[in-house]
Amino acid sequence: MANTKIEWATKVWNPVTGCTPISSGCANCYAKRMANRLKGRHGYDAADPFKVTIHPEEKFLEPLKWRKPSNVFVCSMGDLFHKDVPTLEIDKVFAIAAISPKHNFMFLTKRPDRMAAYFDTPAKKLAERWEDVIYSMGISAGDDEIDTVASFLHNRCALGWPLKNIWLGVSVEDQKAADDRIHYLNEISAAVKFVICEPLLSEINFEKSLGESLKWHAGGLKNCISWVISGGETGPQARPCHPDWVRSLRDQCKNDGIPFFFKSWGVWVPSLQIVPSLADKSYIGPIEKSTSKDFFTTTCCVLQKTNKKISGDFIDSKQYHEFPKI
């Protein structure tokens, strides 16, 4: 179950699952839908499958068995920084990532305040805590010498902080979420700091969301954000995404040299990509879009309801599948 069809990852790793709604982007949560389908199986509670759950230790150890280097989406079925996840369990997840340098581990949260507080701890102290959980989990280098693994971890954190294979990201869906969350990335040291704008429910201006904190970095926006991923919403109650919102993200990234990855339009496809067989399902209605930094208006946009496979991932006849280079 570790392999995934998520376009920007090759594997998912879910030692912790479950979450609770925190903003409008949670309304049609795909992870909750999937958890409901899995209820009573694979560790998902039969009565409340999306409650925050710490899975058995073998789930934590999964990445140690993967031989092929992978891009790993961590906790795709929950939020590792949810208040109900004990810090000890977070330490275990990061310790495993730290001793698995051949994989890139992508941590995504809607609770960046806790993520920033976690990484406010000096790297040396974090490494010591991670060493402790390595001992407690009985992880060895294959020859029963646990000290080998602990020493490797200690040296790696001491000499190579931030670790190149630990990527930290925030999930936002509109300008309010962006304003509330993205600025926390400036408080964290990470090899890659990424933002996922999905489901994209309004235009997002990164400079506005970073505000005064942007001035901390003379190098501009690309020194605050390393990578941007975006996409429309999927599922039976999916909300439409205005193509100008996506173009705005693309253009902001292009102007500041930030890699941009567009997943898909989701359920609603823009009129420029209209599929004739779906003409009876077209949507012509209001979508809020920004006409300037400070004012909003209502416009009409023609979209058609289809599915993710048909809607595709082309923006103005071009695909954007860019990754950060580290």
Q: How confident is the model at residue 47 (pLDDT cuts 50, 70, 90)?
A: very high
pLDDT value of position 309: 78
Per-residue pLDDT of 148-195, as tens digits, reads 888 888 888 887 889 999 999 999 999 999 999 999 999 899 999 999
Residue 225 in this model has a pLDDT that exceeds 60: yes
Percent of the chain with pLDDT over 90: 67
Residue 326 CA, distance from chain mean position: 18
pLDDT value of position 142: 61
Burial 281-309 (b: 16+ CB within 10 A, else e): ebbeeebebbeeeeeeeeeebebbebebe
Residue 289 in this model has a pLDDT that exceeds 70: no
User: pTM for this one?
Assistant: 0.90
User: By the 8 A CB rule, do 161 and 121 touch?
Assistant: no
User: H-type helices in the chain, by residue range?
Assistant: 30-37, 57-60, 87-98, 112-118, 123-137, 146-159, 175-181, 206-210, 243-256, 308-311
7-11, 78-82, 144-148: which range is least confident on average? 144-148
Q: Using N-to-C axis directions, what is the helix angle for 146-159 and 87-98, rounded to 10°? A: 90
22-36, 90-104, 189-203, 298-312: which range is least confident on average? 298-312
Q: Between 240 and 227, where is the model more confident?
A: 227
* Domains of the chain with CATH codes: 11-267+311-319 (3.80.30)
Residue 270 in this model has a pLDDT that exceeds 90: no
Q: Residue 176 corresponds to which tokens in the numbers above?
A: 């309010």
In degrees, to the nearest 5, what angle opens at C-alpha 315 toward C-alphas 278 and 196? 105
The three-state (H, E, C) secondary structure of 146-211, written as one string: HHHHHHHHHHHHHHCCCCCCEEEEEEECCHHHHHHHHHHHHHCCCCEEEEEECCCCCCCCHHHHHH
User: By the 8 A CB rule, do 76 and 109 touch?
Assistant: no
